Amino acid sequence: MSLHHKLYRIFRSYLFWRVVRAFVTILIVMTLTFFILRLMPGNPIDLYIINLMTSGGLSYEEARNRALAMFRINLTRPLYEQYFEYVSNVFRGDLGHSIVSIGTPVIKIIAEFLPWTIFSVGIALIISFLLGIFIGTFMAYRRGSKIDSVLISLFSILSAIPNYIIGLLFIVILGAQLKIVPFTMLRGAYSPYIKPGFTVEFIADIFLHAAFPILVYVLTTIGSWALTMRGSVISVLGEDYVLVAKVRGLPERRIMWTYVGRNAILPLFTNLAISIGFIFGGSTLVEFVFVYRGIGYRLWEAISARDYPVAQGIFLIVTAAVVIANLIADLIYAILDPRVRIQ
């Protein structure tokens, strides 16, 4: 058997077990989400039944039958029956219908809110990643200097502060105290009086509404990219091929980007693949603070209203995104370093 064929079989086995592990992880998280949501106190159907009985004068049975017919879900059935029905529906591509927004498919709700989260957090991820690379490279070449120490301290502090805390500080200081930014006018993904479309006015408006969520994401993530890049560049600077390039008299700029930058940035690409998965789940509290109507804000609403199908659907999308991103990162790392395929 040729070496190429052996490597192909090893990589195929590596890919197979990673896919199996990803599937099992999604199934476990989906199961935990299903049962944890139902262990939370409160039930939207029971609340609706009580409201019908008090305001409409209906008996319990009449109110219950009307609620079950309206909500398309029967929470009085045994939990295991509800679970197996939910799993079978998911495998058929049916995430169910919202309990609160009666008759609205969960997939439609996700399709409505998800693009705004991808837009805001995606732009922030690109900005913080690129800035982190340049700043981290600069810090590595100025290691030990005063500005390097200041930036390390600053980025360490920013990375340690939860993103929603920074969002609240913006609202309190810039909005309530200084009254510089009218945050009440920036709620939602865009202004209701502007017609959606591919126009300069609409595009400028959605950027305006997403400006502070993007700023918060950048401030809380740029530090990790910069510090990681700094460590990676310092490690590469000690390699023999960099010393040889300096001995050959190559320009410092060429050494920085051709020899150092290209090799130092490789470990960050695997982290970038993982970070892309967290786009879908890392925005809940920030979107709630700024009332930015993305998937995180909708998840908060669903949990608060005990809208089980919507919360389950969003958690499933978030889990799948993170797991698939980790799988892609594993594959990228296996391609960059074949030694991991045999582990």
- Residue ranges of the domains in the chain? 41-94, 106-342
CB atoms within 10 A of CB 123: 16
For residue 53, name the pLDDT band (cuts at 50, 70, 90): confident
Contact indicator for 63, 53 with CB cutoff of 8 Å = yes
- pLDDT higher for 61 or 167? 167
CA dist 136 and 143 (Å) reads 10
- The structure's pTM equals 0.80
> Looking at residue 342, what is its pLDDT?
46
CA dist 113 and 250 (Å) reads 51
> Looking at residue 80, what is its pLDDT?
84
Nearest to 37 by CA among 264, 314, 322: 314
Three-state DSSP at 97 gives strand
The per-residue b/e assignment along 170-195, b for 16 or more CB within 10 angstroms, e otherwise, is bbeeebeeeeebebeebeebbbeeee
Q: Evaluate if residue 313 carries a pLDDT over 60.
A: yes
> Looking at residue 308, what is its pLDDT?
86
CA dist 169 and 185 (Å) reads 18
pLDDT tens digit sequence for 151-179: 999 999 998 888 889 999 999 999 888 88
pLDDT tens digit sequence for 296-305: 889 888 888 7
CA dist 138 and 279 (Å) reads 27
Mean pLDDT of 116-145: 90
Residue matched to tokens 């300096």? 246
Fold of the CATH domain 106-342: MetI-like fold (1.10.3720)
